[in-house]
């Protein structure tokens, strides 16, 4: 009798032989150049990850970019910025276009470089010389000038917070020629040249006068509406910090809850309630383009000086941020990877800028979001094997995400939940796998991956079933090859679920996720 482990028969199409190896040296399927670029743009932050260094990622990115046409690079930059809310990668792709196709850069610039931080990122990437030149060039320089000459006073003030380069460095580099007296005075003020104070715009003028009054030993009640970082060295009291909390943006508030707690803001009557109301305001959450993992980060970081009402408001905001997660038809199984490699920071390690949110937190968050809208869904966390864990779909996304993230540890076996479903002969319509795809426990040296083998078993009983692999790290391979019933998608914003919904409804074209990016219309110049 022949060896059935080698010559087992599966119904359906022939399983493709793995054509690559993953970071663990185990058989995998390589993404095509466009898909690989999309995955890197939606998951990569060019920082140290569990398996790859920043230089490794940059080298891999440059290799992929050489194989991709400029229009797709432009569309990917827009997609990553507008739907994935990424920062470093869209700025990098825009800088690549500054070298390869300045006309395309001009078309996408306002949509990708949409605030001062993105402007400074773009300039730093270009002037670093990594892309082959250190000067901005005529057209990119003009685009930076246009941004500076069109920005409002508030946008300029927020852009002025940060360094490497500072906004003053950028202004000195591109020499904008303002027509308005206020803008000319503001640029002079920014770079330390003489200026007419009376010509300063109102917020900056108020800031200068405020500093003089504080230097005289007084503490005015009214705090100018400048970024709080410009005020931290002035020795402000609780009332002034409370005013900053009241007038600050939603993102600024989320990021600085512990700071406000340390300065006594929540001890003032009504301030905890006011902050909580602002955090859970649906319009503010939508305007801030809040990513669920950002709220999880704030919730995890909240110290003892942050009142319970404020922490609960973060949970309410999480429900709002995941409100767009769809309800999927049929029987759903969602499988978050809780293995050891998922302990890495979701945005990678970088001195002074490492997120306290790990990949495992994001996997748990995505699984909990699916469960919130699909309360009959099965949740099958896995590492070497499937981990037994009972969750209540009525619990908040934050609660279930935290419970899932607490499971972590062990090796990575992406086929484990699929094998469980196949062994049970379970009826299933949709399986969602959330992982870094670095499976090795079930590794093979040749043939199809074990994930594909187990999926073939599921398909024997569920011929219409679909598999979605959500990747949250930029490693460029998958355990399940893209085909009509399998979608690979990268990213960790709730926009991922829009594509998943379209896939399950049969509304994606043959190119799946890459096709969604291709549909972006580039603005004409």
The contacts of residue 453 (CB under 8 Å, 6+ apart) are 10, 15, 415
> Could you give the CA distance from residue 489 to residue 394 in angstroms, rounded to a whole number?
27
* 86 touches 41 (CB < 8 A): yes
* 39 touches 517 (CB < 8 A): no
> Could you give the CA distance from residue 429 to residue 522 in angstroms, rounded to a whole number?
36
* Phi-psi domain of 77 (left: phi exceeds 0; alpha: psi -120 through 50; beta: other): alpha
Residue labelled with tokens 């040749």:
446
Percentage, residues of the chain above pLDDT 90 = 59
Residue labelled with tokens 């969604």:
516
CATH 3.40.50.300 fits 20-32+324-518, yes or no: no
User: Which of 54-63, 91-100, 308-317 is least confident?
Assistant: 54-63
Residues 348-402: pLDDT tens digits? 665 655 667 788 888 998 899 899 889 899 999 999 999 999 888 888 888 888 8
Reported as a pLDDT band with limits 50, 70 and 90, residue 12 is very low
Q: H/E/C letters for each residue in 372-408?
A: HHCCCCEECCECCCECCCCCCCCCCHHHHHHHHHCCC
Reported as a pLDDT band with limits 50, 70 and 90, residue 55 is confident
Provide the H-helix boundaries in 49-115.
54-65, 70-82, 88-100, 102-112
Residues 123-167: pLDDT tens digits? 999 999 888 888 898 999 999 999 999 999 999 999 999 888 999
- In the prediction, which pLDDT does 350 show? 59
Residue labelled with tokens 């000086």:
305
> Could you give the CA distance from residue 76 to residue 61 in angstroms, rounded to a whole number?
13
* 446 touches 29 (CB < 8 A): no
Higher model confidence: residue 495 or residue 380? 380
Strands 378-379 and 27-30 turn out to be unpaired
- In the prediction, which pLDDT does 282 show? 92
Residues 302-358: pLDDT tens digits? 989 999 999 999 999 988 888 778 889 999 999 999 999 888 887 766 565 566 778
The contacts of residue 104 (CB under 8 Å, 6+ apart) are 70, 71, 73, 74, 97, 522
pLDDT at 29 over 80: yes
- In the prediction, which pLDDT does 67 show? 96
**Residue 429 has what DSSP assignment?**
S
- In the prediction, which pLDDT does 52 show? 62
- In the prediction, which pLDDT does 235 show? 85
> Could you give the CA distance from residue 397 to residue 36 in angstroms, rounded to a whole number?
30
* 285 touches 321 (CB < 8 A): yes
Mean pLDDT computed over 404-412: 87
Map residue 477 onto helix, strand or coil: strand
Map residue 223 onto helix, strand or coil: coil
Query: Rounded to a whole number, what is the largest CA-CA distance in the chain?
Result: 95
Mean pLDDT computed over 234-256: 90
**Residue ranges covered by each domain of the chain:** 20-32+324-518, 34-199
- In the prediction, which pLDDT does 321 show? 83
Residues 66-77: pLDDT tens digits? 999 999 999 999
pLDDT at 499 over 80: yes
pLDDT at 294 over 90: no
- In the prediction, which pLDDT does 181 show? 97
Mean pLDDT computed over 7-36: 81
User: Which of 91-105, 252-266, 509-523 is least confident?
Assistant: 509-523
401 phi, psi to nearest 5 deg: -60, -40
By the 10 Å C-beta count (0-12 exposed, 13-18 middle, 19+ buried), 292 is classed as: buried
Q: How far is CA 465 from CA 81, 337, 401, 426, 431, in A?
A: 32, 21, 26, 11, 8
Residue labelled with tokens 């970024």:
227
Helix, strand, coil fractions of the chain, as percent rounded to 5: 50, 10, 40
* 182 touches 188 (CB < 8 A): no
The contacts of residue 119 (CB under 8 Å, 6+ apart) are 113, 144, 147, 159, 167, 170
């Amino acid at each position: 009798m022949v060896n059935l482990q080698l010559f087992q028969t599966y119904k359906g199409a022939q399983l493709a032989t793995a054509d690559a190896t993953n970071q663990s040296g185990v058989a995998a399927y390589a993404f095509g150049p466009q898909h690989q670029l999309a995955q890197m743009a939606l998951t990569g932050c060019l920082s140290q990850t569990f398996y790859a260094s920043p230089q490794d990622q940059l080298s891999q990115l440059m290799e992929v970019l050489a194989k991709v046409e400029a229009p797709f690079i432009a569309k990917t930059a827009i997609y990553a910025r507008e739907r994935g809310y990424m920062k470093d990668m869209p700025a990098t792709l825009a800088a690549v276009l500054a070298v390869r196709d300045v006309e395309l850069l001009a078309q996408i610039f306002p949509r990708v470089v949409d605030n001062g931080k993105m402007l400074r990122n773009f300039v730093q990437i270009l002037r670093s010389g990594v892309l082959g030149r250190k000067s901005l060039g005529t057209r990119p320089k003009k685009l930076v000038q246009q941004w500076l000459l069109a920005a409002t006073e508030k946008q300029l003030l927020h852009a002025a917070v940060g360094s490497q380069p500072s906004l003053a460095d950028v202004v000195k580099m591109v020499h904008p020629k303002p027509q308005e007296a206020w803008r000319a005075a503001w640029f002079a003020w920014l770079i330390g040249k003489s200026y007419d104070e009376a010509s300063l715009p109102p917020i900056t003028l108020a800031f200068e006068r405020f500093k003089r009054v504080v230097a005289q030993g007084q503490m005015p009640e009214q705090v100018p509406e400048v970024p709080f970082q410009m005020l931290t060295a002035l020795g402000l009291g609780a009332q002034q910090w409370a005013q900053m909390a009241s007038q600050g943006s939603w993102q600024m508030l989320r990021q600085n809850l512990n700071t406000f707690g340390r300065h006594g803001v929540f001890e003032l009557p009504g301030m905890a309630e006011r902050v909580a109301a602002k955090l859970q305001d649906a319009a503010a959450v939508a305007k801030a383009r809040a990513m669920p993992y950002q709220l999880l980060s704030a919730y995890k970081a909240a110290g003892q000086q942050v009142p319970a009402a404020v922490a609960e408001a973060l949970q309410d905001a999480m429900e709002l941020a995941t409100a767009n997660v769809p309800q999927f038809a049929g029987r759903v199984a969602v499988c978050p990877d809780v293995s050891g490699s998922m302990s890495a920071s979701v945005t990678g390690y970088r001195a002074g800028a490492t997120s306290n949110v790990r990949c495992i937190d994001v996997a748990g968050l995505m699984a909990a979001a699916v469960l919130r809208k699909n309360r009959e869904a099965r949740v099958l966390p896995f590492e070497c094997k499937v981990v037994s864990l009972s969750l209540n779909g009525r619990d908040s996304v934050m609660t279930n995400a935290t419970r899932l993230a607490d499971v972590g540890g062990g090796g990575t076996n992406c086929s484990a939940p699929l094998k469980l479903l196949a062994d049970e002969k379970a009826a299933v319509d949709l399986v969602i796998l959330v992982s870094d795809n670095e499976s090795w426990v079930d590794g093979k040296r040749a043939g199809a991956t074990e994930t594909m083998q187990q999926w073939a078993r599921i398909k024997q009983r569920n011929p219409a079933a679909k598999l979605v692999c959500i990747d949250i790290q930029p490693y460029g391979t998958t355990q399940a090859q893209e085909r009509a019933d399998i979608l690979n998608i990268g990213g960790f914003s709730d926009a991922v679920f829009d594509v998943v919904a379209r896939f399950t409804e049969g509304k994606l074209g043959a190119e799946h996720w890459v096709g969604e990016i291709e549909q972006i219309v580039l603005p004409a110049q």
